[in-house]
Amino acid sequence: MSEVVDLDGRRVVLVTGASRGIGAETAQVLATDGDHVIINYREKLKRAQAIADGIAQAGGTASVVGGDLSDEVAASRLIAEVANEFGRLDVLVLNASGGLELSAGPDYPMRINRDAQLRLVQLALPLMPSGSRIVFVTSHQAHFHGRKPVPAEYEPIAESKRAGEDVLRNMIPLLSDRGIELIVVSGDMIDGTIIVRLLERRNSDAVEARRDQGPLPTVAEFARAVADATRSDNATGHTVYVGGLDYLSTPAS
């Protein structure tokens, strides 16, 4: 993690999976909005540090902290670093996910998209004061899993991310007792993300079918929605939808 900073009233925000794509863009938006952002990365330290440096050059503040969230020891170490440097965590943005990687084993989607999300929340809770917020980032394909068709290649991710959302929603009574809110941000396929690029290689028809429904949201548009969800006045459990109007014909859970 980078050197200790003077928070000067800034919120401390941890964004998981923030070395690229939606996570990186969300971190930059939050920093511009005045937060101190902790950029979590799994392997790409240089890429994460470049994002933090860019934030600093723009007048914001950011730290970097490594950790594979699917690894219990690494996740515990990550939260310990946050505790040691800041003593609190005001916002946790659960953006990291996976499952389409060619090297991923059959159990990996559930380990990263459900088990790792739950574990990180449990580890972070002691640092989160009343008034804190958790934002869970997901996709329409996952959020509406079981109610809308899903490309076969994306099925393990959709199933596991829906399971991750469900276990976090089951925590709402506990979170509420602590004064912590949970907001879900769900998006259609997001143009330019690694997930869409991987799907285009394996099933280009599935991506084109989504484009036929209308323009896909951009990374910038979705990141703005995620950042806004950290401050919105929505009640705990609320879902923010970005793109994919055809999905919204089915009521949200």
* Interval 82-133: pLDDT, tens: 999 999 999 999 999 987 666 777 889 999 999 999 999 999 999 999 999 9
> Does residue 198 surpass a pLDDT of 70?
no
pTM of the model: 0.91
Residues 6 or more apart whose Cβ sits within 8 Å of residue 15: 23, 26, 27, 30, 37, 38, 39, 40, 93, 95
Mean pLDDT calculated for residue range 10-21: 96
Looking at residue 246, its pLDDT comes to 84
What share of the chain in percent tops pLDDT 70?
89
d(CA 127, CA 111): 23
Nearest-5° Cα angle at 129, 125 to 132 = 85
Which tokens is 192 given?
């330019």
What's the rounded Cα separation, in Å, for the pair 147 and 135?
23
> Percentage of residues in the chain with pLDDT exceeding 90?
72
Q: Is the predicted pLDDT of residue 2 greater than 70, yes or no?
A: no
Distance of CA 63 to the CA centre of its chain: 17
Q: Is the pLDDT of residue 50 over 90?
A: yes
Q: Strand 133-139's sheet: what is its strand order?
A: 61-66, 36-41, 12-15, 91-94, 133-139, 181-187, 239-242
Q: Which residues pair with 38 in a beta bridge?
A: 14, 63
Mean pLDDT of the chain: 90
- The 10s digit of each residue's pLDDT in 122-172 is 999 999 999 999 999 999 999 999 998 888 888 999 999 999 999 999 999
pLDDT at 212: 65
Distance of CA 223 to the CA centre of its chain: 10
